[in-house]
Amino acid sequence: MLFSHHENSHNKVLVVDDEPTSLMIMAESLSDLGEIVCCDNGAQAIEKAVFFQPDVILLDIEMPGMNGFEVCKKLKNNPKTAQSHVIFVTSHNEQIFEYQSFASGGIDLIHKPVDLNICRLRVQNQLKLKHQEAQILAAKNDISTLVAQVPVYISYWSNTEENLFSNDETSHWFSKSSEQMLGCFAKDVLPDELYEAFHRCLTKGIEQEVLNIQLASPRNKIEYVRAQVNLRIKEREVVGVILTLSDITSITHTKKLLSNESERLRVMLNSIGDAVIATDNNAIINFMNPIAERLTGWHAEEAKGRHIEEVMKLVDATSNKTLVNPISVALKEQRIVAMALNSQLTGLDGRVYRVEDSAAPIRDIEGNIIGGIIVFHDVSESIAMAVKMSHLANHDLLTDLPNRVLLHDRVTHACKVATSMKKKVALMLIDIDHFKYLNDTLGHHQGDLIIKHVAKRLESLIDLNTTLARIGGDEFVILLPDVQSTSAIDAIASDIINTMNEPFRIDSQEYILSVSVGVSVNPADSTQAEEMMTHADAAMYRAKEQGRNRFCYYSDDLEYQFKQRQSVEKLLRHAIEQDKIEVFYQPKLALLTEKIIGVEALVRLRDDENKLISPLDFIPLAEETGLIHALGQSVLKQSCIAAKEWADKGHNIKVAVNIAAKQFTDGNFCNLVADTIEQAGLASELLELEVTESALMHDFEEIKIMLSKLSDLGLTIAIDDFGTGYSSLSYLKLFPVDVLKIDQSFVRDMLTDTQSMDIVRTITSLAHTLNLQIVAEGIEEKQHLNSLIDLGCELGQGYYFHKPMPKEEFDKLLG
């Protein structure tokens, strides 16, 4: 279709049958095809059809009161329901019933007892037909809308130059409307120059010609047009001519204005006192003004076509080391770049100049870099050195805010003044939530733009006595040197949170951000600048742990948690680097035979005293620090090697490996899995990847592509902790899922909680319906086992059978 239509494409099916059992069976069978509505009599069917307007109606013929034929006729006579496809359902096989079904408006007939598979196929076919009808109608409307509304004159003429069609209904282009134009000859209505081109193409057999024409008598401010003449040829004979016109008046005027502006710009650049050199996006020179000629010693015409490094030779004045030209850096990093301190330019004539400058990429209207420009001038060494060194030593290059060095001086000074004046000083550490993900996804240039916008928004919240500094990639600090009360701190922190929640608009794109803020107050919890920074950092991490998008004050237990976090992170990094990550295996059994058919791989980490650390303490930390990728790779590698060893000993044990949500953001994840399987020499069908429901919700299309690639490797995809997340049936249908794992919380409570029992029953039934394997987690009692077997659950794991164990212990279990 030409346009994007937003009609609701959700399938609607109405099932009408006076037998409750038949009604329930058919509704259950068709439930995944769309929204199903049921009723058990003719009058109610008509009422629901008018309100519901279903795509397909399954209609029983024999019903009390009003039979199916009467219902169908009433539906077909009602404009609101006439388009619904009616499929009759009957136990009669006589030909007269088939005749009456189609005569009354039915489109298909299904005989009882109903074959549910055939029924589903017939309903699906009718739904497809409905969708095709809608698409055809939409396409027809699109074409009509396009021809009527497109800002182009479209006309068709016979080979005798007689008008047969035009879309100018309002006489916008010519004095005649499309209706008045019919039957007119081109010579009588087209401007002379346009007609000459039209006639030339027709008489000389020129199949296509495009030309720009200035109209002698402009209409509706259309002075210039681009005309395209196309001959329509059939069996080597011209049967007609298509003539289209587009208004290029504004474009023509703009070109003239640009030409004038370009000339003014050339004169201005040649007149200013600074040297200017412009290049293309490969740093090849295409312009130099007279000052640049003087400083470099090159004539502009000689310099054109040469690389900037050849013409503008920069060295460090002290070491004489060659410097990279700022314009090269600006083009590479796509940002404004200042010349390195102590820069020295040597001209072609041997003259030496100390210069300062700035270089910037040149972008077109769409933001694409098309070149670069550098503006520089001769300056004295003392001024250049003093200004540059002082500023760069104390300010952030990207935002021009005070950096960590200058902030430390101001915090130290504020603390001294506060001590002598008995005042309070507050320090707020502000960290952008999930900025690393944004930076990796959007690119560093876009990340830099976001940082700049955040800096400007924070600056709008502070007064002249307050210091705003940038101390790291996405970390800012606000220093409040004179705090009257805690409520004042609360107000400022709240303003920061709320202001950051407002969308940022960058390059016509909106971004929603949040920040976590940690607050340290002197002298309440710290007395020195370094201590305030440490405490604010700890408070900020507490804010992140509590859900982000909030602020927290420092407290005594935060220091302990902060140290614990650092300790666990250090242990984790060391274990990964030294290949000391352990993997335990929990057997998975066939419930009827209690035979081991697989294992789940579970990661383990030990502290310095050889005690196991809870996965709840180090896995979230791994995800937050980015170590989850290396951790996951280690577990996958060990699991594949173990499964290969078992297979070589005659035990085809499938190993299930948990995959974290963040691992899916790695574009190379599929290749990593394939390489790991290949290096281990493992048959891919012996590997199962477990993903949580929440991991599937990040980017639907991207996850779908990744799961399909993984499935193509031959391994199995399992949904872990099913029922605790989104539980959307859509991904079970569209994603290549093989296994559902019932979360242990439902299994544990199923004996005492009817709701948990119902959830387990429903998930088991759903898995059977979708031909998925079902695995129950957390089996701890004999009653759990018996109930799951009764419900039809085939596989399970839990402490009733075995706890997770090291590989050596599992090897002994296999015998």
How many whole angstroms separate alpha carbon 247 and alpha carbon 251? 8
Residue with tokens 């929440």, as numbered in its chain: 694
- Taking Cα atoms as reference points, which of 621, 620, 625, 414 lies closest to residue 520? 414
Predicted confidence band of residue 643 (pLDDT cuts 50, 70, 90)? very high
Sheet holding 515-522, edge to edge: 467-470, 475-483, 424-432, 515-522, 551-553
pLDDT (tens digit per residue) in 418-435: 888 888 899 999 999 988
DSSP letter string, 648-711: HTT--PEEEEEE-GGGGG-TTHHHHHHHHHHHHT--GGGEEEEEETGGGGS-HHHHHHHHHHHH
pLDDT (tens digit per residue) in 519-558: 998 888 877 888 899 899 989 988 988 889 999 988 766 5
**Strand-pair category, 56-60 with 504-506:** unpaired
C-beta separation of 496 from 433 below 8 A: no
Q: What is the predicted pLDDT for the residue at 99? A: 87
Burial call 650-679: b when 16+ CB within 10 Å, e when fewer = eeebbbbbbbbbbbbbbeebbebbbebbee
- Taking Cα atoms as reference points, which of 174, 260, 269 lies closest to residue 222? 174
DSSP letter string, 345-402: EE-TTS-EEEEEEEEEEEE-TTS-EEEEEEEEEE--HHHHHHHHHHHHHHB-TTT--B
Q: What is the predicted pLDDT for the residue at 562? A: 62
Structure tokens at 645: 């060893």
**What DSSP element (H or E) covers 165?**
strand 163-166
C-beta separation of 380 from 393 below 8 A: no
Query: If you ran DSSP here, which 8-state letter would residue 231 be given?
Result: E
Q: Which phi-psi region, left, alpha or beta, contains residue 53 (left: φ > 0; alpha: ψ -120 to 50)?
A: left
Structure tokens at 343: 């820069």
Share of the chain above pLDDT 90, in %: 45
**Strand-pair category, 56-60 with 12-16:** parallel
Q: Tell whether the model's pLDDT for residue 516 goes beyond 90.
A: yes
CA distances from 184 to 163, 176, 238, 654 (A): 6, 10, 19, 80
Q: Tell whether the model's pLDDT for residue 440 goes beyond 80.
A: no
Q: What is the mean pLDDT of the chain?
A: 87
Residue with tokens 């290549």, as numbered in its chain: 736
Other CB atoms within 10 Å distance of the CB of residue 375: 19
Q: Tell whether the model's pLDDT for residue 656 goes beyond 90.
A: yes
Q: Tell whether the model's pLDDT for residue 707 goes beyond 80.
A: yes
pLDDT (tens digit per residue) in 308-349: 999 999 988 888 898 999 999 999 999 998 877 778 888 888
Sign (positive or negative) of CA dihedral 118, 122, 127, 128: positive
Q: What is the predicted pLDDT for the residue at 256? A: 86
Residue with tokens 């996804």, as numbered in its chain: 441
How many whole angstroms separate alpha carbon 771 and alpha carbon 763? 12
Q: Tell whether the model's pLDDT for residue 698 goes beyond 80.
A: no
Other CB atoms within 10 Å distance of the CB of residue 121: 11
How many whole angstroms separate alpha carbon 129 and alpha carbon 55? 10
Q: How far is CA 194 from the centre of its chain?
A: 49
Predicted confidence band of residue 388 (pLDDT cuts 50, 70, 90)? low
Window from 54-58, 477-481, 503-507 with minimum mean pLDDT:
503-507
User: SS3 for 237?
Assistant: strand
**Strand-pair category, 582-590 with 551-553:** unpaired
How many whole angstroms separate alpha carbon 682 and alpha carbon 68? 60
Predicted confidence band of residue 381 (pLDDT cuts 50, 70, 90)? low
Q: Tell whether the model's pLDDT for residue 391 goes beyond 80.
A: no
Q: Can you list the domains of the chain with their CATH numbers?
A: 12-146 (3.40.50.2300), 150-251 (3.30.450.20), 272-393 (3.30.450.20), 395-554 (3.30.70.270), 574-814 (3.20.20.450)
Q: What is the predicted pLDDT for the residue at 8? A: 41
Entry field: residues in the chain: 815
**What DSSP element (H or E) covers 586?**
strand 582-590
Burial of 327 (0-12, 13-18, 19+ CB in 10 A): buried
CA distances from 103 to 71, 72, 133, 472 (A): 13, 10, 22, 78
- Taking Cα atoms as reference points, which of 299, 385, 406, 404 lies closest to residue 339? 385
Other CB atoms within 10 Å distance of the CB of residue 463: 6
Q: Tell whether the model's pLDDT for residue 141 goes beyond 80.
A: no
Q: Tell whether the model's pLDDT for residue 775 goes beyond 90.
A: yes
Phi, psi of 426 (to 5 degrees): -120, 140
Q: Tell whether the model's pLDDT for residue 6 goes beyond 50.
A: no
CA torsion 299→302→303→306, rounded to 10°?
Answer: -170
Which residue type occupies 214? Q
Share of the chain above pLDDT 70, in %: 94
Contacts of 370 (CB under 8 A, 6+ apart): 280, 281, 362, 363, 364
C-beta separation of 799 from 602 below 8 A: no
